[in-house]
Amino acid sequence: MEPKPWRNRVRDEEQLLAQLNQLASESASRRAEALREGVAELGSVANVARDLGRSWQAIDQALKRDERKRKATNPDATTTE
């Protein structure tokens, strides 16, 4: 059996990377939503970070990244702040 030409292999891998990037983006959005629920339940980003054993900066950055992504995809959306 003849191996796939390199151009086809590159194209296939680029498609796979695009799918993986989309899945990672969707996962990050779901994670941010769960973190928001944690903040609502526990009262602060710091409390969520303590509960998860993470730094508050990591939690805060995840929430901010998601907020920026939401604003970029829907600039007319209002925030709940």
Residues whose CB falls within 8 Å of the CB of residue 42, separated by 6 or more in sequence, listed in order: 48, 51
The mean pLDDT of 1-28, rounded to a whole number, is 96
For 73, what's the count of Cα atoms within 13 Å in the CB-facing half-sphere? 7
Query: Chain-wide mean pLDDT for the chain?
Result: 93
Top-confidence residue, 74 or 58 = 58
Does 79 score more than 60 pLDDT?
A: no
Domain extent listing, the chain: 6-73
Q: 6-42 vs 56-73: helix axis angle to the nearest 10?
A: 110
Spatial contact of 43 and 56, defined as CB atoms under 8 Å apart: no
Q: What is the pTM of this model?
A: 0.78
The mean pLDDT of 46-56, rounded to a whole number, is 98
